[in-house]
Amino acid sequence: MKNILLVLFSTALLSSMACTNGKAGNDDKSNKKTETKQPAENKSGDEAVKAIHLTKAQFLEKVWDYEKNPDKWVYKGDKPCIIDFYADWCRPCKIAGPILEELAGEYKGQIYVYKINTEQERELAGAFGIQSIPAFLHCPMVGQPQMSAGIAQTPEETKKMFKGIIDEFLLDKKK
């Protein structure tokens, strides 16, 4: 399993589809807000499940209170999670966002998908050393979280990458 995760993380890290911290990769000079796509409805036909946007206060409450436990990871969630560190101007973030929204519905009740806007929550981004986005923190119920950055070359490969991380690292499903 560690070899598979290493390959997945390496794919994400080596991907040319990452933005550096700053707006160097921003092709949208108009500074328009990102158009938000509606998440896909889940298979049961229930209301669509969405990724949850977090502020620093919500992160400290739901994920990890690094102010009280700066030297020890203590996950506070009741399900594993993926945290998407993004910015509205980042093109790869705009690709990853809808994929994660879809996976939030597909894995409803099994994981949380959180989003943190690095422009609004600079302290959180700094706490994790985020220097390029999108960056993803994968938090299992037991053990240490893992960080990855970037996306794969295509949306299909990106979804496959996330599903592999969810199934094998977060949910510990052996194939």
Distances (CA, A) of 121 to 57, 59, 79, 87, 103: 10, 10, 23, 10, 24
Over its C-alpha atoms, the chain yields an Rg (Å, rounded) of: 15
Q: Which of 19, 81, 90, 139 is the catalytic position?
A: 90
- Please state, in angstroms and rounded to a whole number, the distance separating the CA atoms of residues 168 and 164: 6
90 a catalytic residue: yes
Choosing from 19, 81, 93, 139, the catalytic residue is 93
What are the pLDDT digits (tens) for 22-72? 443 333 333 333 333 333 443 444 456 899 999 999 999 999 999 999 999
139 is catalytic: no
Tokens 């094998």 appear where? 168
Quote the pLDDT of residue 20: 61
Burial pattern 82-93, b for ≥16 Cβ within 10 A else e, equals bbbbbbbbbbbb
For the segment 66-122, what is each residue's pLDDT rounded down to a tens digit?
999 999 999 999 999 999 999 999 999 999 999 999 999 999 999 999 999 999 999
Asked if the model's pLDDT at residue 126 lies above 60, the reply is yes
Q: Which pLDDT belongs to residue 174?
A: 65
